[in-house]
Structure 1
Amino acid sequence: GSVGVDDNGDCDTADRTPSQKDANRNGIPCDIVIRLDPYGQGTYTILSDGNVDEDPDDEAYALESIHRSFVLAIGKLGVVFLIGIFVPLFMATGLIRNEMTSGTMHFMLAKPIARGEVFLYRLLGFYALAWVYLTLLIALLAIVSGLMGPSDGFFRFGDLGVWMSVWLASVMAITVYGMLFCTLGVMWKHGMVLALPFAAWELGMILTTLGAPDAAILRFSVIGWAMNIVDAGAALAWQDTPLLIQMGLWGGGNGPLQGAEALNVFWSTPGLDIGALGTIVVSMLVLLFQAAACWLLGSILFKSKEIE
């Protein structure tokens, strides 16, 4: 569409011809045309009449882009990845194994309860604590960032959709990682040794999501599907972000504005090409399937183990 203004009056001057004032040939003098490239996967073509918006509000742009970068960085790396993987790594890996080696598992198995149910109940107790912790942490982050971020009002309500997607992604990630690491703990008494290489793999996958969110290798991870949920939630809440990034990278023709490159790194288009809502639904179903598969494998292994 047509945007931009002659912010300092050097486009609409008497010494410039009408053709010079309408260099992009859209019939509107001294403006900027921004067109979505239908073959560029979300890229834009910017056509300026010249001397238009060459001095944009750098401060306002920097505040907005840095705030969005902060929310995405904390949400993706800080909450979904670090907390989502390391809380289960240290708390769920020995959830069953510690009781197997200490002998206290005998008291639980003395009751007429299937081992698969014991496996599930122990994890549900862990989830109850982890999910409450996540909810309180994300609520605190949402309140602080909403109050401190740039806004016309006292609170940035537009960020709540992103934080909701971060909460959903982190809950799903902890669910799968908890099942997986607990299964590895049942498999071997040194389950942490088995879990650490997987954590390293997931670290590589989250770095891949920042540069290539549609890479096929991400389908063989947990964090790739969780990041799809965050990206889809951000796409629904901040629909103008792709345009904001392109405008910042262009910077009035004088190079990128402050915050544009950071936002470009942490923002990713949902990688499934089925729309934001479809991406959230499919990603949740895949993560639930992964959790169910880990529970089934863990239950089978638990049934075959002798209690010391």
Structure 2
Amino acid sequence: MTDTLRLFLVGLFLANPALADLQLTFPAPATETFSETEEFGSYKLPVGPYADGFVQTLVAEGQQITRAWRIDIDVGTSLLVMDNLRQQLEASGFELLYECTTEVCGGFDFRFTTSVLPEPVMHVDLGDFRFLSAQRLGGAVPEYVSLFVSRGADTAFVQMILVGSPDEVSLTAKSGGKVAQVAPAIPSVTFGSVTETMLRDGHAVLDDLNFETGSSALGEGKFLSLIDLAEYLKANPEIRIALVGHTDAEGSLQGNVNLSRKRAQSVAARLSQEFGVPSSQMEAEGVGYLSPRASNLSEEGRTQNRRVEVIITSTQS
């Protein structure tokens, strides 16, 4: 057994599970990429897969701790990472509420409708991720936790959201090496550009696009947002993106989902045919009116909701 695998099998708890602080033991040197504590938060904890346009959730309220780590690991899969962390949660008194793999979770739709930190602090490979949610009922108020785990070529990415009483919620982490706390490097891009926004916020709206009314046909013109995005993608062939179409709330859900997907596909086709971006770097999806950024009660809001966004989905070729 390698030292890495041996470290993977330790880290369980000797304290009373109902009273123990939550401690995580990682299998290798870990970089904490994000840490935030809200004194009071309301978190929609997924307890089921994406189905019929939404993810079944449980509303967890209390102090909310959100953390993310990048783990340098040369062996193992996302299953091995999740199995190890699940054992530690169960040893600390947490009971499993829901667990799923990529396809069972709902793939792209589950990831997109679930609270996930943006690139580069948290990376989710749409072909390989795992999720679980759990609860612990031993204290004055229930505690809830979710874990998102994904893999790169030689790196594991972990996001944890922990919600409970400020007097009882405590989270510490250690690893087989020094735990660094540094911001991940972000590729150099033009300030204020679509790619700068995408890398900073995890997504960016392609605001200068235009479509014919009720049509998926992308208007004529090169569009500065597409020029910027194409240059970045061709300079960084390891990056993969998803183009996500959105609509206003007029019409049926299925009709809007279909229209939004076709608009995203039109953008992908333009990037490939006119700007030479390899199709292997892109995928196109649509969510209809399920993710508005403004009220659908006004024309101005509906106009803002009709859009195509871009998100990074993978940094692996």
Please report the TM-score for the alignment, with normalisation by the length of structure 2: 0.25
More strand by share: 2
Greater gyration radius: 1
More helix by share: 1
Please report the TM-score for the alignment, with normalisation by the length of structure 1: 0.26
